[in-house]
Chain A
């Protein structure tokens, strides 16, 4: 089956070419079917490779070289594929969730003029994302890394007539590029240190390096900068909420389930290097935790349904990085895995709501949608419970594993983590109650139009809801009678880390402690949900209009801590203004003036010198004779 692995990324690429070149000539149904099938087949192929893979204990990674890319002396990079535990798991998520979102989009985008363009971009995205996770070296990763950035740019700015959306697209690409530079420099340093770009080679050599090696620390910091940009961590997170300008399926696929988790993938992929750099891990931990809390507080006061989900995504990504910083790589991946399902579900559900509301995204204009949208409501509720972390849904297990690792590290970290989880539960239930309960607050026209979405849209919702329920069972902890399947599956992946630390990376807590931790966090979450229910359902509280006076804290949160304004005033405005100043003062008035000055000097001196030409022939002859005499004299006396 591995022989056909190259087809997995190739098919979406073919789908892209088909939609771009022939999309306009065939019907929308054909475009959507072709695009979806070209993602479905890779999914089936992935499953076909995956099943034999899990049946072998600690299966070796499979590497398949495809084509020569760059070969200059010792600098050699090829197009090659690596299939191992991590890439296969990622591929399952990408193609699986990707396929569902393709199906969903067929309904969601049905009336859009850019239908074929949309599917072309989605296919291209799947291609690049697969390249990102399937590559066996850092340059393949970088192709995918920048490629998904391109698709993100194209899809955020999909409705290009709106200049704000274009601005958001540019912002996303440029912020990503800041991270990309870090990643690229990290890759250069890896090459300098290991003379190779191949993961296998690096893992092989890294085992002998001492912990805390400064070069490795530098490498990991640079890689982490890349991850910050792509995964929207502090301080480069502001592009992700703006990225909600894209169509909702895009938000679900790219800005929740797959692309933004590339940073997590990168760090798990190079876990051995990060294990060697405890200093970087500390940084990652704090950045992750800070992002988780920071974004969660902003989420509390947002009124745009997609913005709430966006900040929630930033916050959940923060959780994953928190776990990575703690060295709990499997926990981070586990959360990535479950998050992909319930966040995609939530985004698609919100898309369904927006679809029903004829494009309205403001929670204050919704309410009481439960009756009109029964399937959307049910699935959305499942997603909300899953993200809030109530057992036995997916979010509970993954979040619990992260919290357990945090507690093993330091109890204060656990408290912070729980705090984040509580805020998540609050804003998610706030969103849920505001949208689905109470009375309808929109216009009559909107109310008249309310309808459940077509089957192509509800079908993915149901599947994702099922996954959100069961995905957590891949890694049920021992204490709840599970077998740590994912932990065991990832053992070969983390072999280097385990070897270096000479111990198992999993947190070791006594069962009693674990029960207490789980119990207390679940109870706290339930309390918060109850509070949200009273506030937004029973009391019918609706957030105030933006124009109404707010307390300082409220305003701070609803304005997202003024981070965008801060960046505008310290980075983007100075850059643009500075460009003008640089041009006017340095270029025109300094460099060019010197050049022109030299020219003018010549003109001026010649203007003076030409007065020696009196026009008097006698004078010329006289000068000539004098000149001849001088030459004669010089010749005589100087020798």
Chain B
């Protein structure tokens, strides 16, 4: 019931919002997302981290209703540690994202907030669904609101860019759909799309390889990994900042989450076989994206590229198939989500006040807006993985897992420590530092802007100092994932 309510709340809120007058819609959206966040907090409290059951170890709040029973499609969802983390990510960041749009009037705000809530519902659906068909529906459903958000409120060239974004990601998902249907056919008399059935298929190596590529293509485009990333910088750049936050902070993580939920346990042998390939791809991606980020001349594009570098490291950590790798990936997803909202909000504020993202027209902001600059500084170092910030915990664990996997991988992936500092400090220097021009104005943070930033800063530091809370939440699921993979490998080989 709890799981179903978590999915349903945003959808219900979205519909109610349509019935309200337009000038109330931002209040309605804020209320709805805060209620959802409070509800999530309540779920965290009643979530039992030590629970053991046959379904995904500590999956709880299971809802399993027949839906299209003639072909075995169920409304099957539950929350385990990993889902819980993703829910925290989604539901705690959404109020901040809504709040980030506060000071700037949006045309047709009713539709905008409707789409944002729709997006939230779809994302929650993706993160809790355990039925392949249901999961796929939410997966695609998440694409539609963001498509319209970028298309209707985007910047330059938005028609062309959104078209590419939509087709590209849709194409990837198509392969995944084929794989899901194929897996369904393999379940035979069970006629089930459920993860439990999929996990128990014991595919042979050839089948696993096919499944791997079908899923991987979908996820690699969504994450995005090199060389499937080329939709991302343009889309991020043209999207309204709230949309970029949704994309970067949450939607990217659909891909990584899905790797852990759907790809790894179903095709562990193939994952093992291709792990090196994927990790190398990720490492090239880290260096490549970081390097390009260094050369960017606009702050938002720089952030977009940094995002590619970060998720590549997360993915590499996942493919080490180790406990530290998974834990590192999970906390880094959270951390990157928080930082991403912060970074793109920084870009948004710069755009609001100065009307441009270009570095050569910025500078001297710290002098005029010290609070804003300090906040940006914390986000900069959070993103550059300074110890006692959330970014460090993630990168430390990820690099450690890579190190245990292969010395050289960690060494090259570790370049992110240096390159990350280079591009973030460049961004900070070019946008914030230097002397302000005579008579230039840059208003410091308003009340609502502070309301967005302070939780972000707080989270960056809190997660860096006390990350154990997150590890406890996810540990049981991660352990389960590892035993699941090992079992498959033992029986399969």
Contact = CB atoms under 8 A, between A and B. Distances in A.
Check A-B contact in the complex, CB < 8 A.
Answer: yes
Interface of A: 67-73, 75, 139, 142-143, 145-147, 150, 153, 157, 160-163, 166-167, 170, 173-174, 177-178, 180-181, 184-185, 188-189, 191-192, 575-580, 582-583, 586-587, 591-592, 594-596, 599
A182 B115 CA distance: 47
B167 A599 contact: yes
Contacts of A163: 429, 433-434
B403 A189 contact: yes
Nearest to A140: B387
A575 to B, nearest CB: 6
Nearest to B400: A188
A583 B292 contact: yes
B211 interface: no
B66 interface: no
Closest 4 A-B residue pairs measured CB to CB?
A579-B295, A161-B435, A143-B387, A188-B403
A25 B152 CA distance: 46
Contacts of A157: 433
Q: Which of B164, B294, B410 has the most CB of A within 10 A?
A: B294
A184 B399 contact: yes
A71 B388 contact: no
Interface in B351-407: 364, 366-367, 381, 386-388, 392-393, 396-397, 399-400, 403-404, 407
Nearest to A161: B435
B393 A70 contact: yes
Nearest to B228: A595
A73 B328 CA distance: 13
Given A161-B434, A582-B291, A185 B425 contact: no
B400 A579 contact: no
Nearest to B373: A160
B294 A192 contact: no
6 contacts: A143-B388, A181-B417, A576-B294, A579-B292, A591-B227, A595-B168
A142 B327 CA distance: 20
Contacts of A146: 386-387, 392
Interface of B: 164, 167-168, 226-227, 229-231, 288, 291-296, 323-324, 327, 364, 366-367, 381, 386-388, 392-393, 396-397, 399-400, 403-404, 407, 410-411, 414-415, 417-418, 421-422, 425-426, 429, 432-436, 465-468, 471, 475
B410 A72 contact: no
A576 B295 contact: yes
A161 B434 CA distance: 4
Contact of B425 (A71, A170, A189, A575): A170
A189 B403 CA distance: 8
B468 A69 contact: yes
A157 B436 CA distance: 16
Given A70-B467, A150-B381, A177 B421 contact: yes
A145 B407 CA distance: 23
A69 B433 contact: no
Nearest to A602: B167
Contacts of B407: 189
Given A70-B471, A578-B295, A579-B292, 18 more contacts: A70-B397, A72-B323, A73-B323, A143-B387, A146-B386, A147-B388, A150-B381, A157-B433, A162-B435, A163-B434, A166-B429, A166-B434, A167-B429, A181-B417, A185-B403, A575-B294, A576-B295, A578-B291
B388 A173 contact: no
B154 to A, nearest CB: 19
Contacts of B231: 595
B182 to A, nearest CB: 24
Contacts of A173: 421, 425
Contacts of A67: 466
Q: Which of B426, B429, B433 has the most CB of A within 10 A?
A: B433
Nearest to A154: B377
B295 A582 contact: yes
Nearest to B167: A599
A70 B429 contact: no
Contacts of B230: 587, 591-592, 595
A583 B387 contact: no
A174 B433 CA distance: 17
Q: Which of B231, B292, B432, B471 has the most CB of A within 10 A?
A: B292
B324 A181 contact: no
Contacts of A143: 387-388
A307 to B, nearest CB: 23
Nearest to A577: B295
Nearest to B233: A587
A181 B418 contact: yes
Contacts of A145: 387
Contacts of A72: 323-324, 327, 397, 471, 475
A185 B410 contact: yes
Contacts of B229: 591
A496 B415 CA distance: 34
Nearest to A144: B387
Given A68-B468, A582-B295, A174 B403 contact: no
Contact of A71 (B400, B426, B429, B471): B471
Contact of A599 (B164, B386, B397, B414): B164
B163 to A, nearest CB: 9
Nearest to A583: B292
A401 B103 CA distance: 67
A587 B292 contact: yes
B417 A180 contact: yes
Contacts of A180: 417
Given A185-B403, A582-B291, A71 B435 contact: no
A147 B294 contact: no
Contacts of A579: 291-296
A173 B295 CA distance: 19
A33 B323 CA distance: 48
Contacts of B403: 185, 188-189, 192
Contacts of B397: 70, 72, 75
A70 B468 contact: yes
A71 B399 CA distance: 16
B292 A160 contact: no
Contact of A582 (B288, B411, B468): B288
Contacts of A71: 468, 471
B141 to A, nearest CB: 24
B410 A188 contact: yes
A147 B387 contact: yes
B418 A177 contact: yes
Contact of B295 (A150, A162, A583, A592): A583
B435 to A, nearest CB: 4
Contacts of B327: 72
A69 B467 CA distance: 7
Q: Which of A191, A582, A586 has the most CB of B within 10 A?
A: A582
Contacts of A582: 288, 291-292, 295
B418 A192 contact: no
Nearest to B478: A72
A536 B387 CA distance: 49
B341 to A, nearest CB: 22
A139 B407 CA distance: 19
B307 to A, nearest CB: 15
A145 B417 CA distance: 14
Contacts of B393: 70
Nearest to B301: A583
A163 B430 CA distance: 9
Given A72-B475, A188-B399, A177 B468 contact: no
Contacts of A587: 230, 292
Contact of A185 (B414, B422, B436, B471): B414
A191 B400 CA distance: 9
Given A75-B324, A579-B295, A583-B295, A142 B387 contact: yes
B238 to A, nearest CB: 15
Contacts of B435: 161-162
Contacts of B367: 160-161
Contacts of B465: 69
B209 to A, nearest CB: 23
